[in-house]
Amino acid sequence: MGLELIIQLIAGLVGGNAAGAGLKNLNLGPLLNSIVGAVGGAGGAQILAMLGMGGAADAAAAGSSMDIGAIVQSLVGGGAGGAILVAIVGALKKALVKT
């Protein structure tokens, strides 16, 4: 497991828990916020890489060490991806419970 993936997972975990704390009506609980956030963190950073905002993915592909820009991108992409996925899953869960 590469350093960029570890950073993305941790950032996603933090982002997911922050979203759960901030969006009380979409909160999944600490454990699910962490799991969904970590998955979203890895996915969010990968989506940014596919959109051409490479950073960590470009550094890994080039075989070079990560620079500060790649680390920041992993943090931002991971945190945002984790928060967004927690919000989506929370909204879906809330919609399904109403039905």
Residue 62 lies in a domain: no
Residue 54 — pLDDT band, cuts 50, 70, 90? low
pLDDT in the model for residue 38: 93
What is residue 74's predicted lDDT score, i.e. its pLDDT? 85
> Could you give the CA distance from residue 70 to residue 65 in angstroms, rounded to a whole number?
9
Q: Is residue 1 part of a domain?
A: no
**Mean pLDDT, rounded, for 35-62:** 73
90 with 17: CB under 8 angstroms?
no
- What is the tally of structural domains in the chain? 1
64 domain-assigned: no
pLDDT the model gives residue 12: 92
Residue 99 belongs to a domain: no
Task: Please give the distance of CA 2 from its chain centroid, rounded to a whole number.
Answer: 16
C-alpha–C-alpha distance, residues 58 and 51, integer Å: 12
Domain that holds residue 81: 8-19+30-54+69-91
